[in-house]
Amino acid sequence: MRLATLVLADPSARVADLKDRVLISIPATADRAEAVQAFKKYDRIALPVADSDGAMLGIITADDVLDVAEQVATEEMQRVGGMEALDAPYLEVGFLRMLWKRGGWLSVLFLGEMLTATAMTHFEDELAKAVVLAMFVPLIISSGGNSGSQAATLVVRALALREVRLRDWSRVLGRELRTGLALGAWLGLLGFVRVEVWQHVGLYNYGPHHMLVALTVWVSLVGVVTFGSVSGATLPLVLRRLGFDPATCSAPFVATLVDVTGLVIYFSAAALILTGTVL
């Protein structure tokens, strides 16, 4: 939607002819996001719209921009949720149209999750030797997916609000690396305590090497949560650099990516710590 369609034309007026020295206007070719940013930057209740020659085509009011900002925010939220943005209110979208909007991304995510099954097959021998490892697979991969979804949502929104720019990539990476390590260490500690409490209370027997099993969970969570945080924050920046909408880096997409890598990290840590004992 171009801004020129939102205003009443007045060819006789020219922005350059206004006596007001603060000549702030919006180009007629600006898109919705640029209009919202202009109002946010200059804090005005109305701004003139001008063509390339400085002729004023009309004005846009704050009410118009509020409606546009709401629509843009809605579309971004829908994309982050893992689907194409709806072009109408939820209850007005037809059944087949809704299937099309949601089915495409679900199909892509389903194909991605197939890689998780492939990774499980690759570590079939480890699972056969230590069935106890399978108990923690949902815990490990869900924690990584959750941390990645959090990071992706935060960075996508920060990019939309222009709180973060591409030149800030190193700061974002450093922040998420530290955050991921800290969160992973905390969640890993909770997992370690859970295994030991269950073992000593008698709720479940993890075997004579239960402390090594608990340590495997701890180390795995540090690696998986850190990877999830870093990848979730990096992918939106990469998409923006390539010219794509960062909102298409949806939380479900990041979670699917971390599911696969989380399994690799988990079983690699298990092989490193448990070889010669449980494995």
Fold of the 3-80 domain: CBS-domain (3.10.580)
pLDDT for 109 beyond 50 = yes
Radius of gyration for the chain, computed over Cα atoms and rounded to the nearest angstrom: 26
Confidence (pTM): 0.74
Nearest to 50 by CA among 104, 95, 102, 10: 10
Question: What does the pLDDT read at residue 8?
Answer: 41
Residues 6+ positions from 203 with CB-CB distance below 8 Å: 197
End-to-end, the C-alpha distance of the chain in Å comes to: 61
Cβ neighbours, 10 Å, residue 222: 22
- Tell me: the pLDDT tens digits for 49-88? 888 777 888 888 877 778 777 777 777 777 766 677 777 7
What percent of the chain has pLDDT above 70? 90
Question: What does the pLDDT read at residue 66?
Answer: 80
Helix extents (H) in the chain: 32-42, 62-80, 95-122, 124-129, 132-135, 137-160, 169-201, 210-241, 251-274
Fold of the 100-274 domain: Tetracycline Repressor; domain 2 (1.10.357)
The top-scoring range by mean pLDDT among 18-22, 66-70, 174-178, 208-212 is 174-178
Mean of the per-residue pLDDT values of the chain: 82
Average pLDDT over residues 84-103: 82
C-alpha 270: how far from chain center? 29
The residue type found at 240 is R
Question: What does the pLDDT read at residue 1?
Answer: 39
Q: How far apart are CA 16 and CA 10, in angstroms?
A: 14
Q: How far apart are CA 191 and CA 85, in angstroms?
A: 38
Q: How confident is the model at residue 197 (pLDDT cuts 50, 70, 90)?
A: very high
Q: How far apart are CA 16 and CA 48, in angstroms?
A: 11
Q: How far apart are CA 243 and CA 139, in angstroms?
A: 35
Q: Are 126 and 255 in contact (CB under 8 A)?
A: no
Same fold, 3-80 and 100-274: no
Q: How far apart are CA 3 and CA 274, in angstroms?
A: 63
Longest dimension (CA), the chain: 88
pLDDT for 22 beyond 60 = no
- Tell me: the pLDDT tens digits for 114-145? 877 777 777 777 777 778 888 899 889 889 98
What percent of the chain has pLDDT above 90? 27
Position with higher pLDDT, 23 vs 17: 23
Q: Are 242 and 216 in contact (CB under 8 A)?
A: no
Question: What does the pLDDT read at residue 249?
Answer: 63
Spatial strand order of the sheet with 46-50 comes to 26-27, 46-50, 56-61
Delimit the domains of the chain by residue range: 3-80, 100-274
Q: How far apart are CA 62 and CA 244, in angstroms?
A: 28
Q: Are 210 and 195 in contact (CB under 8 A)?
A: yes
Question: What does the pLDDT read at residue 250?
Answer: 66
- Tell me: the pLDDT tens digits for 236-278? 999 888 888 787 766 777 888 888 899 899 999 999 999 888 7
Tokens of 185: 């260490």
